[in-house]
Copies of this chain bind each other. A is one copy, B any other.
Amino acid sequence: MINEPQIINEALSETHEQLAAADRPSEDGLLEIDISGLPAGELVKWLEDMVLIREFEEALEPLTLSGKIPGSVHQASGQEAVAVGVVRALRPGDIVASPHRPHHHALAKGLTPRAVMAELWGRATGCAGGRGGTMHLIDFSLGYFGSNGIVGAALGIAMGAALAAKLRQNGQVCVGFFGDGGANTGRTWEFVNFATVEKLPLIVVCENNQYAVETWIRREMVGGTIAERAIGFGLPASQVDGQDIAAVYAATVEARERAAAGGGPTFIEAVTYRYRGHNTGEVINYRTEDEVEHWRATRDPVERLRSSLERLGQLRPGQFEEIVAGASAVVQDSIEFSESSPVPDPATAGDRVLVTPFDEKGLA
């Protein structure tokens, strides 16, 4: 009964080759995107958002490895276009909830790098007072209904928030993010079904970065796309190129309109890629460096937007480098801010478990 050891994902080369075959890169090697439908005056800001996310994520690995950030975190480098494309299509009062890989969503939704970074550091100045860390970021005032440590759970919170929005008729639209791995947990489909039946103002966004930890999507999912799976639950669903911010934005605008008009939820599968390991410090044995390089070279979402903007003359020479430098400074500031922030007072460690007062015997 003993098989041969087999360490690298056997289907890997196939993905890579399929990808390469489908690619028709432009001169700079990147696949072109069409940004003509986007609000021209805002696109530099979008690029700034994406660069900030990239810089933020890329700063984290050494901070976790050195223990300054306790524990490891899940970086989203490579997935910037999904976060920014979705959030830019929303209105300010709209709601977003994230899974365990959330920094890009949180930053896109307006949380400051300081609030997020200090939270990762477990400092009192973090957005959850240092109690939550990366998987429990929060800012209700910005419509950010939390990152979540449990696969699929954030979609449930967004779904429930959408139910409240419907009942309160307040015009809010809610977005629940999850990953390709989250497409295999039963609760995801309960949430999708319920939202569809109740025609909730919900946008379901599956960030299909093709891996769940070390598990390639095709290892644990047979048949069509995740969007095709969703169609069986009776809601409009489509797959978009998650590295193309224009595609993500357009799909979200349409979904938002439908939701706001009482047309119910929409399912968006955004095909994307994470450049880093599942978590900081991971030793990657399940995919090749070639594969990563191919994604970077042909589909990097930041570079694709930059290249389009440059081609259309909306980015002057040197401006991109300025943006990167600016973002880097902001991230650096968030690190210094975190380092100099106080840790939460241990005397408060047990506070706020309930609103109802209690002590070590029960009712206080």
Check A230 for interface membership: any CB of B closer than 8 A: yes
Q: Which chain B residues lie closer than 8 Å to A246 at the CB level?
A: none
CB distance from A137 to the nearest CB of B (A): 26
A285-316 interface bits toward B, Cβ cutoff 8 Å, 1 = contact, 0 = none: 00000000000000000000000000000000
Of the listed stretches A46-54, A232-240, A332-340, chain B binds: A232-240
The answer, among B188, B190, B196, B232, for a CB contact under 8 Å with A232, is B232
**In the complex where A185-B190, A188-B186 touch, is A224 in contact with B220 (Cβ < 8 A)?**
no
Check A219 for interface membership: any CB of B closer than 8 A: yes
Among residues 206 to 227 in chain A, which have CB atoms less than 8 Å away from a CB atom of chain B? Answer: 219-224
Among residues 224 to 271 in chain A, which have CB atoms less than 8 Å away from a CB atom of chain B? Answer: 224, 228-235
Check A341 for interface membership: any CB of B closer than 8 A: no
Q: Do the beta carbons of A219 and B232 come within 8 Å of each other?
A: no
Please give me the residue from chain B that is nearest to A231 by CB atom. Answer: B232
Q: Which chain B residues lie closer than 8 Å to A233 at the CB level?
A: 222-223, 229, 232
Q: Do the beta carbons of B232 and A224 come within 8 Å of each other?
A: yes
Please give me the residue from chain B that is nearest to A222 by CB atom. Answer: B234
Among residues 324 to 360 in chain A, which have CB atoms less than 8 Å away from a CB atom of chain B? Answer: none
Among residues 152 to 190 in chain A, which have CB atoms less than 8 Å away from a CB atom of chain B? Answer: 184-190
Q: Which chain B residues lie closer than 8 Å to A186 at the CB level?
A: 185-190
Please give me the residue from chain B that is nearest to A188 by CB atom. Answer: B186
CA distance A219 to B303 in the complex (A): 47
Q: Do the beta carbons of B222 and A196 come within 8 Å of each other?
A: yes
Check A193 for interface membership: any CB of B closer than 8 A: yes
Check A65 for interface membership: any CB of B closer than 8 A: no
Q: Do the beta carbons of A232 and B228 come within 8 Å of each other?
A: yes
CB distance from A102 to the nearest CB of B (A): 22
CB distance from A160 to the nearest CB of B (A): 15
Check A8 for interface membership: any CB of B closer than 8 A: no
Among residues 1 to 47 in chain A, which have CB atoms less than 8 Å away from a CB atom of chain B? Answer: none
CA distance A219 to B234 in the complex (A): 13
Q: Which chain B residues lie closer than 8 Å to A231 at the CB level?
A: 223, 232
Q: Which chain B residues lie closer than 8 Å to A196 at the CB level?
A: 222-223
The answer, among B190, B221, B224, B235, for a CB contact under 8 Å with A193, is B221
Check A197 for interface membership: any CB of B closer than 8 A: yes
Q: Which residue among A220, A224, A228, A233 has the maximum number of chain B CB atoms within 10 Å of its CB?
A: A233
Q: Which chain B residues lie closer than 8 Å to A223 at the CB level?
A: 196, 231-235
Q: Which residue among A193, A196, A219 has the maximum number of chain B CB atoms within 10 Å of its CB?
A: A193
Q: Which chain B residues lie closer than 8 Å to A193 at the CB level?
A: 184, 220-222
Top 8 A-B pairs, shortest CB-CB distance: A186-B186, A223-B234, A222-B234, A229-B232, A232-B232, A186-B190, A196-B222, A186-B187
Binding site for B on A (CB under 8 A): 184-190, 193, 196-197, 219-224, 228-235
* 15 contacts across the A-B interface (CB closer than 8 A): A184-B190, A185-B186, A186-B189, A193-B221, A193-B222, A196-B223, A197-B221, A222-B234, A223-B231, A223-B233, A223-B234, A223-B235, A229-B233, A230-B232, A232-B233
A186-B186, A186-B189, A186-B190 known; 18 new pairs, CB 8 Å cut-off, are A184-B190, A184-B193, A185-B186, A185-B190, A186-B188, A193-B221, A196-B222, A196-B223, A197-B220, A197-B222, A221-B234, A222-B233, A223-B231, A223-B233, A228-B232, A230-B232, A231-B232, A232-B232
